[in-house]
Amino acid sequence: MHVDVGARIEAVYAEVLRRNPGEAEFHQAVREVLHSLAAVLRKRPEYAEAKLVERLVEPERQILFRVPWSDDSGEVHVNRGFRVEFSSALGPYKGGLRFAPELALDTVKFLAFEQIFKNALTGLGIGGGKGGADFDPKGRSDAEVMRFCQSFMTELHRHLGEHTDVPAGDIGVGTREIGYLFGQYKRLANRFEAGVLTGKGTGWGGSQARTEATGYGTVHFVREMLATRGEDLTGRRVVLSGSGNVSLFALEKAQSFGAQVIACSDSSGYLVDERGLDLDLLKEIKLNRRARLDSYAEARPRAGFHTRGSVYDVPCDIALPCATQNELKEPHAVRLAKNGVKAVAEGANMPCTPEAVRVLREAGVLYGPGKAANAGGVATSALEMRQNAGRDSWTFEETEKRLAAVMRDIHADCVAAAEEFGTPEDYVLGANAAGFLRVADAMRDQGVV
């Protein structure tokens, strides 16, 4: 049977728009993947005939629920919780929980869809999912966060399990929140099921290097990209957006490889220290004091803190967007390219707009999409699941060694897939194609389910 791949792709996208009105971020994520998969389907028409793409863009399950809780003064609040279980073809649903006041189903769906391909790229047998709530933990007491987490888990627990769905942390959900969530799950399930959540404390089932993994993995991916052109990180000027865990540990790993990391940002502005950012001071300000970056400039007068413009205005060799989706826009990409940037790798999920990606690609900049470049976090979560299954605990060094190997393999798979489907150095095509092929083969084997 002849399949008109172009028409099939457009029909799939039109149906996504019809079924999911107003969900621009989800539309964006699907569009990018579908554009890449056209080349795959032309070469492998059996995937089109089986309508694997049509099945893949529809989540297996979407869960929305009410989360009532009381603050310290006794006032009742009502938030909304989400969990999108998108694909279990390769293993239990796996993906983080995000607590952010602006969170909506659109964002959760785009993140869960991206997670399918990211998780497939790790080769570690995990499906794709994502979740969270429109709750803001900032400014809340530990007791308030605990009560919210307990109410959230009271509803969500019935959908979880180490062989069903395994959440982790994300923006707004760190070790504290995971602890409260796990405690409530344990209470409701009446069992210590360590593998049901990842990102746990290292004293009770968590993995060494999990906090560092996303940032470390992003830098490992950059290193592999540069190596394809006979270059490395030594002496390279690096800027990062954000100043949370991903940014801080990307900074740490980049410095360990000899890079000069000169700028980072937060929601109040961006910081430039031409001599190289002081990692210890940044960790004290952001992780301990939870203060703004202007505190760094107060402590280091040599540094400049700017409330206007963008961190991407700073001339650099490497840019690592590590904050949030669609933060790096076309004008930023134009400025980066004009200033001679060599590589951009996404530490965050979909931080570059499609227009920005086009500019970077046309300028010959190495571009590592988030589903490949920042897969180190979920890879280490899967390694945490492996340790939990064997009631084992690995050292930091052993875990990081395995993380580095996973990132090398992801890079190699992206390169091979991009070459197979006709566009060398196209890491977007490579990541989408390599991830899709693993999921598609499993879906064919498992029948129409």
Q: Any residues with CB less than 8 A from the CB of 355 and at least 6 apart, and which?
A: 329, 330, 333
Q: Return the number of other C-beta atoms located less than 10 Å from residue 63's C-beta.
A: 18
Distance CA 260, CA 441 (A): 43
Distance between first and last Cα of the chain: 23
As given in the structure block, the two tokens for residue 237 are 């000027």
Distances in Å between the Cα of 164 and the Cα atoms of 62, 86, 92, 196, 306 are 14, 12, 5, 9, 46
Burial level of 3, CB count in 10 A (0-12/13-18/19+)?
Answer: middle
Residues annotated as part of the active site: 130
Q: Given its phi and psi angles, is residue 309 left (phi above 0), alpha (psi -120 to 50 degrees) or beta? A: left
Packing angle of the helix pair 376-389, 210-227 (nearest 10 deg): 130
Burial level of 330, CB count in 10 A (0-12/13-18/19+)?
Answer: middle
Distances in Å between the Cα of 388 and the Cα atoms of 78, 214, 220, 242, 343 are 34, 20, 26, 31, 36
The one-letter amino acid code at 413 reads D
Using the structure block, give the residue that is written with the tokens 């979740």: 131
Alpha-helix residue ranges (DSSP H) falling in 123-227? 142-156, 175-189, 210-227
The one-letter amino acid code at 108 reads V
Q: Return the number of other C-beta atoms located less than 10 Å from residue 351's C-beta.
A: 24
Q: Any residues with CB less than 8 A from the CB of 93 and at least 6 apart, and which?
A: 85, 86, 87, 126, 127, 128, 129, 164, 165, 166
Distances in Å between the Cα of 122 and the Cα atoms of 170, 317, 373, 423 are 18, 27, 11, 22
Q: Are 356 and 330 in contact (CB under 8 A)?
A: yes
DSSP three-state, residue 133: strand
Distances in Å between the Cα of 10 and the Cα atoms of 28, 29, 36, 87 are 14, 15, 13, 22
